[in-house]
Amino acid sequence: MPRRKRNPNGSGTVTKRADGRYQAAVYVPQPDGTVKRKYAYGKTYEECDRKRRELIDRANGGVPTPTRDMTLGQWFDYWLEIVVKPNLAKNSYSAYEQAVRLHLRPRLGSKVMVKLGVKELRGVVQQLAEDEGAKTAKRALRVLSASLTAAMVEDIGLTRNVAKLVHVRAATNSGKSWDAVTVLRFLAAARRLTPYYPAFLLLCLLGLRRAEVCGIRWENIDLDKRIIWVEQQRQRTSAGTIDVELKTDTSKAPLPLPAQCIAPLRWTRMRTTMLRDRAISRGRPWFGDPDGHVFVTSTGRPLQTPHLYLVMQRIIRAEGLSKMNPKGLRKSCGTLLVHLRVHPRVVKAILRHSRIATTMDIYAEALDPDVIEAVGQLDRLLRQPARIRELEVGRPDSEAA
């Protein structure tokens, strides 16, 4: 009887165990550059052999394959590079990497991932909360939970996410917001003091994020039909400041433009043309914007988010208003809509929230008639200072005083 031909080196083996299952063993690369033996199991030979071939394909492609004795530090390296970096936005990757580098790796990096227990993790998280604060501990725990959820997809024996069984109590701070009177004062000052008044209108009336405002292009606006499409945002990356895709699909939504925004936006277009013609006629530099951004500087460059922030702070100081940032203007928009008794579903559509926890309902199309009516109400409210004063006097805290 001829001898069975030996499998080539690196092809792994498939054997039958005493319990009737089949076991495949393949040497695979690890995230730290070493090579370890990886086991996979199946009820039939075909199932086990398929897993063996998948492991070989990963190894041939240079993709590390975690093993049961992998430490959390090794897993973090693999997770950040293979899972997070290619699939999430750059800012999300930076936030995850910072949480791992500053808080998780120093405290948990040497722990074997599959052996991490709830009691041990609870002690680490409590100590982190004492050292760095409850909010920091809560953010780090959220990052750890995301990494362990990804680990459960890999065939390394992790059967539960212990991070979901540990909780941190941290005071929630949704940020400050202005009332209708303060928003009206700010917009009146912005109209006098800055050519970027239309940008602040979009921040206050539609709750756009400042990166979204800086990323708006003329192709995203239909002034005749009064519709604006929010499709990109302006962000600083390793390649420079560029337009990038929005973080979630729910953020990409058409919104009705309030009537109050139409004339200022037309004026903005004329201003850009005037600045370009004047710069060219006087021999001054003009940086043509091929993407056609709505808001540009005096030299034609697209407006950057730090510039918009500085302009906002100058207006606040000139008017003597309370401290606020562009994110607070977004929250102020939501506050005003709630003040008008707009349904949470409509508020969610206008602000384009992605989670039900944010506005308590499922995502709705932004051009729903209720959305158009809600924006129209907010537009009319900001045009009636007398009505705003009536609402301000009628607030419960005013009656109590």
Measured CA to CA, the distance from residue 45 to residue 311 in angstroms comes to: 68
Contact 258, 268 (CB under 8 A): no
Q: What's the full length of the chain, in residues?
A: 401
Average pLDDT over residues 226-233: 87
Q: What is the pLDDT of residues 81-124, one digit of tens each?
A: 888 888 887 778 888 999 999 999 999 999 988 888 999 999 99
Instruction: Count CB-CB contacts under 10 A for residue 194.
Output: 17
Residue 336 has pLDDT above 80, yes or no: no
Which pLDDT score is estimated for 16? 86
**For the chain, what is the radius of gyration of the CA atoms?**
28
Which pLDDT score is estimated for 256? 85
Contact 382, 340 (CB under 8 A): no
Report residue 344 as tokens. Answer: 């949470």
Percent of the chain having pLDDT more than 90? 26
Which pLDDT score is estimated for 393? 64
Confidence bin at 7 (pLDDT 50/70/90): low
Measured CA to CA, the distance from residue 230 to residue 214 in angstroms comes to: 11
What is the side-by-side strand order in the sheet with 227-230? Answer: 221-222, 227-230, 253-256
- CA end-to-end span of the chain, whole Å? 103
Which pLDDT score is estimated for 13? 80
Contact 167, 126 (CB under 8 A): no
What is the helix (H) or strand (E) element at residue 75, kind and residue range? helix 72-78
Which pLDDT score is estimated for 108? 93
Which pLDDT score is estimated for 93? 87
Residue 237 has pLDDT above 80, yes or no: no
Average pLDDT over residues 157-166: 86
Contact 335, 177 (CB under 8 A): yes
Report residue 2 as tokens. Answer: 């001829």
Instruction: Count CB-CB contacts under 10 A for residue 356.
Output: 12
Contact 214, 302 (CB under 8 A): yes
Average pLDDT over residues 224-249: 78
Q: How does DSSP classify residue 6?
A: P
Q: What is the pLDDT of residues 252-295, one digit of tens each?
A: 778 888 888 899 999 999 999 999 999 999 888 888 888 899 99
Region of 10 on the Ramachandran plot (φ > 0 left; ψ -120 to 50 alpha; else beta)? left
Q: What is the pLDDT of residues 289-334, one digit of tens each?
A: 888 999 999 899 999 989 999 999 999 999 999 888 888 888 777 7
Residue closest to 220 by CA, chosen among 179, 196, 255:
255
Report residue 48 as tokens. Answer: 């086990």
